[in-house]
Amino acid sequence: MKFILKLIIPVVFIVLAFMFVKILISKKQPNLSRVPDVVAPQVDIIAVDQKDHQPPILSYGTVQSYFETTLTPQVSGQIIEVAEEFRVGNMVKQGALLARIDDTDYTAVLAQESSNLSTAKRTLLEEEIKAKQAAQDWQASGRNLSSASDFVLRKPQLEAARANIQSAMATEAKAKADIERTMIRAPYDAVVLERMASLGNYANQQQPLGKLVATQRVEVRLPLTADQAALVDLPGLHQKNSARLTVTLTSATKAGAEWQGQLMRTEPSVDPKNQVTYVIAEVEGPYQAKPEPLVVGTFVNAHIPGRVIPNTYKVPEAALVNDAYVWVVSNEDKLCRITAKRVYGHEAHVYLRLLGKELEASAIKPPLHIVTRPLATFKHGKDVKPAFVSEKR
SS3 readout for the chain: CHHHHHHHHHHHHHHHHHHHHHHHHHHCCCCCCCCCCCCCCEEEEEEECCEEECCEEEEEEEEEECCEEEECCCCCEEEEEECCCCCCCCEECCCCEEEEECCHHHHHHHHHHHHHHHHHHHHHHHHHHHHHHHHHHHHHCCCCHHHCCCCCCCHHHHHHHHHHHHHHHHHHHHHHHHHHHCEEECCCCEEEEEECCCCCCEECCCCCCEEEEECCEEEEEEEECHHHHCCCCCCCHHHCCCCCCEEEEECCCCCCCEEEEEEEEEEEEECCCCCCEEEEEEEECHHHCCCCCCCCCCEEEEEEECCCEEEEEEEEHHHCECCCEEEEECCCCEEEEEEEEEEEEECCEEEEEECHHHHHHHCCCCCEEEECCCCCCCCCCCECEEEECCCCC
Answer whether 73-101+184-213 and 104-181 agree in fold.
no
What is the fold, at CATH topology level, of the domain defined by 45-52+309-388?
2.40.420
- Confidence (pLDDT) at 3: 60
- Confidence (pLDDT) at 348: 85
- Confidence (pLDDT) at 4: 67
- Confidence (pLDDT) at 380: 86
What is the fold, at CATH topology level, of the domain defined by 216-305?
Elongation Factor Tu (Ef-tu); domain 3 (2.40.30)
Rg (CA), the chain: 48
pTM to 2 decimals?
0.68
- Confidence (pLDDT) at 91: 92
- Confidence (pLDDT) at 185: 94
CATH class of 104-181: mainly alpha
- Confidence (pLDDT) at 239: 55
Q: Where are the domains of the chain?
A: 45-52+309-388, 73-101+184-213, 104-181, 216-305
- Confidence (pLDDT) at 149: 80
What is the fold, at CATH topology level, of the domain defined by 73-101+184-213?
OB fold (Dihydrolipoamide Acetyltransferase, E2P) (2.40.50)
Enumerate residue ranges in the chain where pLDDT < 50. 241, 393
